[in-house]
Structure 1
Amino acid sequence: MFSLVIASQLFTSIFLIIGLKRVLPRYRQAMTVAAIVCGIAAYHYFRIFDSFKAAFVTDAIGGAGDYVQVAGASFNEGYRYVDWLLTVPLLLLELIAVLALARKVQTSLLYRLIPASALMIALGYPGELTADNGMRGIFGLLSTIPFAYILYVLFIELTKSLDRQPVSVRRTISQLRLLLLLTWGVYPIAYLLPMLGIDGSDAWVGKQIGYSIADILAKCLYGLIIFHIARMKSFADDPAFARMELSVDEAEEVATPTNPRGK
């Protein structure tokens, strides 16, 4: 799973960097931030991978047997939380950047969402480290408060922004709200596994798999959707750019009268 996440994050980052010129300059900030998010995640998963190899060993050929923890060694979960502390605010920034909202609205959103995201990660970390399910539940609940606030603000603002977006991306942005809810919802489920009657190595492995899948969806898939939105908005903003990038039929479809910004 760690190897899969490394490959996904690394090559999504490379794809987004290569694709910068495939969108108009006003949307490249969102693309750059998306590439940075995946790059940061790839780096930290290298560290997570190495931490696993140092903490757990097996005598089986090809690593197919049972793993045992090395005496005096431990798996460093801190890498994951440092990654989230950096990437979650950036995920919010790339979404706000691609929507191209008024500067005052962007500033207001960042002032509200960035501190909330940092608080969410900081409150979750102590619960991650403890073996006491009661303490894990308390910190999980406290972390859920800023988590719910972030989702609420994003749903409200994304809904408000729909009328100001090109017709071609409204459905995608609307679906992005559900993607945020579904992908971000995987994290608390994985976090709560030790409290759901699953214990020992099963809980630990399940938690790592859950976090890994969530990171692929919330960073790689999310970044590719941001790229798609940036492309479609570029075509709607500049018909000449659309004609260069698309076939004649596709360019005409983007510039239909039902899309005011594509006229």
Structure 2
Amino acid sequence: MPEQLTNGQYHTVYNLLSLVIAAQLFTSIYLLVVQPRVLPRYRQALVVAAIVCGIAAYHYFRIFDSFRGAFVTDAVGGQGTYTQAAGSAFNEGYRYVDWLLTVPLLLVELVVVLALAKKLQTSLLVRLIPASALMIALGYPGEISGDNLTRNVFGLLSTIPFLYILYVLFVELTRSLDRQPPAVRQTVSRLRILLFATWGVYPIAYLLPLLGLDGADAWVGKQAGYSIADILAKALYGLLIYRIARLKSFADDPAFAEVEGGHDQAVSHEHLDEGQPKAAKVGR
């Protein structure tokens, strides 16, 4: 952690943390409110998505308080340079506690919303949940270490379960998507890419000290990267889970789709996937 931040650096982190709190908190509320918009069998996935965002909002409140306590200024109106407060430090551990809880739950959301066969669902969960928890647990010792060798070792170790998770999501899960509605398959593909892209931000931020980037600018960049990635990987991800639940609800129950106004959308996606003529696609 830098010993001081400029006024601009301080307020960049301050405003980003505030943005994450708002995004996670109100996405959590939204996902709870829209429960009746999907069939009962898919509501568990939305509850898990809401819990993920709620956990993130709570920890960002703690991160926000830790940040405010770690840097202080004597300037009138808070417009001067912010220095590290005596006896205080920014607690990066809050992020890892959050990830340890939410990353496994993100994978639970995806598996549960697909409503796969019980045996397959259990098989996926018993592999993905321990792998994701291990990935986070192995990354933390390197994060808090000032020694590059330690960061290298634990960074490499945490990459192993990360690659295994990608294998399960992009190879094994793909084999299970044939019976899903076409629109669901498309959304799952986007969702997996979102996970890959956002999770990729974390190791980049983790490696900044190893790349020779340090000081206040690097620290602020790391906090910005973590914050934006958390919005995408939790709030946006949760909204995509809601979209999958809606599409599957429409496909399962045409009467429900009619009431919810999703009948035409579900039918159009089915026709496109079946290779309708171009003119039909344009006139959709």
Structure 1 Cα separation of the partners of residues 246 and 76 of structure 2: 47
1:115 partner letter: P
1:173-192 to 2 correspondence within 5 Å?
173-192=188-207
> Which residue identity lines up with residue 72 of structure 2 in the other structure?
V
The separation in 2 between residues aligned to 1:208 and 1:108, in whole angstroms, is 35
Q: CA deviation at 1:249?
A: 4.4
Conserved in 2, the CA contact under 8 Å of 1:89 and 1:114? Answer: yes
- In 2, the alpha carbon distance for the partners of 1:256 and 1:195 equals 51
Unpaired runs of 5+ residues, structure 2, are 1-15, 275-284
Matches within 5 A, 1:121-200: 121-200=136-215
Secondary structure at 2:52 match in 1: helix
Q: How does 1:16-31 map to 2 (within 5 A)?
A: 16-31=31-46
Once the 2 structures are TM-superposed, how far is the Cα of residue 161 of structure 1 from its aligned partner?
2.3
State the 4+ residue runs in structure 1 displaced beyond 6 angstroms. none
| Structure 2 counterparts to residues 3-152 of structure 1, below 5 A | 3-152=18-167
User: For 1:119 and 1:249, how far apart are their aligned partners in 2?
Assistant: 44
Instruction: Kindly provide the amino acid, as one letter, of the partner of residue 161 in structure 1.
Output: S
Question: Cα distance, 1:67 vs. partner?
Answer: 1.7
User: 1:217 — aligned with what?
Assistant: 232
> Who is 1:208 aligned against?
223
Q: What letter matches 1:198 in structure 2?
A: L
The size of the alignment, in residue pairs, is 259
- Higher mean alpha-carbon deviation, 180-189 vs 199-208, is at 199-208
Shift of 1:64: 4.0
* Separation of aligned partners in 1, 2:233 and 2:71: 28
Query: Is residue 239 from structure 1 mapped to residue 264 from structure 2 by the alignment?
Result: no
The higher relative CO (CA closer than 8 Å, separation ≥ 6) is in 2
1-side partners of 2:273 and 2:71: how far apart? 59
SS of the counterpart of 1:146? helix
Which residue in 1 is equivalent to 2:280?
Answer: none
List alignment gaps of at least 5 residues for structure 1.
none
- 8 Å contact from structure 2 (residues 254, 263) kept in 1: no
Task: Give the letter for the 1:108 counterpart.
Answer: S
Aligned mates of 1:251, 1:117 — CA distance in 2: 33
- The two structures have a TM-score, normalised by structure 1, of 0.93
| Mapped partners of 1:248, 1:167: distance in 2 | 14
- What is the RMSD of the two structures over their aligned residues, measured on CA atoms? 1.8
1:69 partner letter: Q
